[in-house]
């Protein structure tokens, strides 16, 4: 058993279902069977375990290996700090279903919407229904009391302790997310949120004998330096939504991931993402060619330096709560990217400095021996995402050695388009891109 070979810290072993997942200190990717790997995954949601089973099967069929699940539903009648027995059994069934599909699970154990005083008419603001609310016999008069040394926080941490102890034996669990989008709690401040997060992390580390890695998130790409530097977080999480950048989700992912890697030196997980954070009505998420923008975002994640990619929100099932119908269009959205990286060793992979001719943009990621690249037509932009033939373009990257083998792939089908051998000149490798349509993926392998 792997526990005898490694320090238990950051270890997740799927003894019943085959491969092992682990995040070792100092590394930026989950290891699968001992090999640092990039994973694709999603944010499934359902009203019962059967609904999750269907989504897990869809994810596994697309080559995905990772799911992030909000274990946060508080059923009517549950008391503050208590845990409904029927709900626990349902969540147990969900975890077992994930194991059967060989999926690693990141449970989310708290969520902003339960602690936000927004309008009671807004579906996503639920403080008025919370059992922690004094109006329902709970201990707190204001949501922000969760962040202070109060009876409210003690009850919440007791509940957290009970959940972790119950689920610690589940091999599907790869880590713990204490809380989703801390900054959206009414009354939240960075200092109070950090104190709460550190207390919660202590509880989890005491309750989990496997010492799995821990995180917590902010909304969007919000940045609380004290939180991101805290020892409570073993990896950083971001939620890139492209509202403020005109729908350019691929650009946002590349910049947000690489900025955090450089600044904090911790692994970066994409927890949620989308073309717009708002409900999918009259937004870019329901634009006729939104699927192109999402595809670009998935490929951008592959070459960004993030631990994972895809991680959509509305497209992963939350559309159902807004009477939208977009999820079914994205069942296979990451399949080509998942096949492209399958079995690839990401040991030592870091962002690589590169530049390209004016009509294309993208990024390169890799080591001194193996690299991946992805580039797209700069004209392919929201809201129409028109894909046109591209020809006569080049890209140049810093490179060691004297020669590299280069393979070019269609980013829609995964088909090999062409390959060549290229020579390094004064530390730079210049590549003439073949003609392509919309975007292109590249594999680089050092020869000498």
Long-range contact set of residues 126-134: C-beta below 8 Å, sequence gap at least 24: 127/186, 129/74, 130/74, 131/74, 131/78, 131/79, 131/80, 131/82, 132/80, 132/156
With 70 as the cut, is the pLDDT of residue 8 above it?
Answer: no
Helix extents (H) in 43-189: 49-61, 85-100, 151-167
Q: Are strands 30-32 and 416-425 parallel, antiparallel or unpaired?
A: unpaired
Residue 279 near residue 244, CB atoms below 8 Å: no
Q: In what order do the strands lie in the sheet with 30-32?
A: 11-13, 20-22, 30-32, 35-37
pLDDT of residue 309: 98
> Residue 18: pLDDT band by 50, 70, 90 thresholds?
very low
- pLDDT band with cut points at 50, 70 and 90 for residue 5: very low
Provide CB contacts within 8 A for 154, sequence distance 6+: 81
CA distances from 166 to 56, 162, 173, 204, 312 (A): 22, 6, 12, 12, 28
The rounded percent of the chain whose pLDDT value lies above 90 is 91
Strands (DSSP E) contained in 162-286 are 176-177, 214-215, 236-238, 268-270
DSSP, res 78: P
Which tokens go with 222? 């919000």
Pairing of strands 30-32, 35-37: antiparallel
The per-residue pLDDT for range 351-377, each reduced to its tens digit, is 999 999 999 999 999 999 999 999 999
Question: Between these two residues, 152 and 77, which has the higher pLDDT value?
Answer: 152
> 190-207 and 151-167 are packed helices; what angle lies between their axes, rounded to 10 degrees?
40
pLDDT value for 19: 53
The model's pTM is: 0.94
Residue 4 has pLDDT above 60, yes or no: no
Fold agreement (2-341, 350-446): no
**Quick check: 296 and 67 in contact, CB under 8 A?**
no
- Tally of CA atoms within 13 A in the half-sphere of 303 that contains its CB: 28
The mean-pLDDT minimum among 19-23, 314-318, 352-356 falls in: 19-23
Q: In terms of Cα–Cα distance, which of 36, 106, 67, 57 is closest to 341?
A: 36
CA distance 40 to 334: 7
Query: Alpha-carbon distance 141 to 448, whole Å?
Result: 67
CATH of range 2-341; options 3.20.20.80, 3.30.565.10, 3.40.50.720, 3.90.180.10? 3.20.20.80
Give me the pLDDT at residue 119, please. Answer: 57
| The token pair that represents 219 in the structure block | 């909304």
Which CATH class name applies to 350-446?
Answer: mainly beta
Q: What's the pLDDT tens digit per position in 334-353? A: 999 999 999 999 999 999 99
Contacts of residue 125, defined as CB under 8 A and 6 or more positions apart, other chains included, come to 113, 116, 117, 118, 119
Domain residue spans of the chain: 2-341, 350-446
> What's the whole-number mean pLDDT along residues 407-429?
97
Give the number of other Cβ atoms within 10 Å of residue 331's Cβ: 17
**Residue 428 scores a pLDDT above 50:** yes
- Among 396, 386, 370, residue whose Cα is nearest residue 438: 386
What pLDDT is recorded for position 16? 41
pLDDT bin (cut points 50, 70, 90) of residue 62 is very high
For the cut 60, the answer to whether the pLDDT of residue 133 exceeds it is yes
pLDDT over 50 (residue 240): yes
């Amino acid at each position: 058993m792997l526990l005898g070979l490694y320090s238990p810290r950051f270890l997740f072993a799927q003894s019943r279902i085959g491969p092992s997942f682990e995040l070792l200190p100092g590394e930026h990717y989950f290891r699968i069977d001992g090999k640092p790997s990039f994973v694709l995954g999603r944010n499934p949601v359902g009203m019962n375990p059967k609904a999750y089973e269907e989504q897990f099967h869809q994810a596994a069929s697309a080559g995905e290996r990772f799911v992030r699940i909000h274990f946060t539903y508080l059923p009517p009648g549950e008391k503050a700090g208590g845990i409904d027995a029927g709900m626990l059994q349902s969540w147990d069934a969900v975890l077992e279903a994930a194991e059967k599909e060989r999926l690693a699970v990141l449970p989310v154990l708290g969520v902003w919407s339960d602690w936000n005083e927004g309008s009671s008419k807004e579906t996503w603001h639920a403080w008025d229904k919370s059992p922690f609310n004094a109006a329902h016999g709970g201990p707190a008069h204001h949501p922000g009391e969760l962040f202070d040394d109060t009876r409210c926080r003690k009850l919440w941490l007791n509940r957290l302790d009970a959940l972790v102890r119950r689920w610690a034996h589940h091999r599907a669990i790869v880590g713990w997310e204490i809380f989703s989008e801390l900054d959206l709690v009414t009354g939240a401040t960075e200092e109070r949120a950090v104190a709460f997060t550190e207390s919660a992390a202590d509880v989890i580390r005491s309750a989990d004998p496997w010492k799995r890695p821990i995180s917590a998130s902010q909304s969007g790409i919000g940045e609380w330096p004290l939180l991101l530097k805290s020892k409570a977080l073993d990896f950083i999480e971001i939620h890139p939504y492209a509202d403020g950048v005109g729908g350019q989700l691929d650009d946002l992912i590349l910049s947000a991931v690489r900025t955090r890697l450089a600044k904090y030196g911790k692994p970066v997980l994409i927890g949620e993402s989308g073309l717009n954070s708002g409900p999918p009505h009259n937004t870019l998420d329901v634009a006729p060619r939104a699927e192109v923008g999402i595809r670009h975002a998935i490929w951008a994640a592959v070459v960004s330096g993030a631990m994972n990619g895809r991680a959509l929100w509305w497209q992963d099932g939350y559309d159902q709560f807004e009477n939208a119908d977009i999820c079914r269009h994205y069942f296979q959205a990451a399949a080509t990217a998942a096949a492209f990286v399958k079995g690839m060793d990401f040991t030592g992979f870091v962002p690589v400095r590169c530049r390209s001719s004016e009509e294309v943009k993208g990024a390169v990621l890799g080591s001194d021996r193996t690299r991946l690249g992805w580039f797209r037509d700069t004209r392919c932009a929201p809201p129409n995402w028109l894909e046109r033939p591209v020809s006569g373009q080049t890209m140049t990257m810093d490179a060691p050695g004297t020669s590299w083998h280069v393979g070019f792939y269609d980013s829609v089908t995964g088909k090999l388009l062409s390959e060549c051998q290229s020579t390094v000149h004064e530390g730079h490798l210049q590549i003439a891109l073949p003609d392509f349509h919309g975007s292109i993926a590249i594999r680089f392998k050092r020869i000498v």
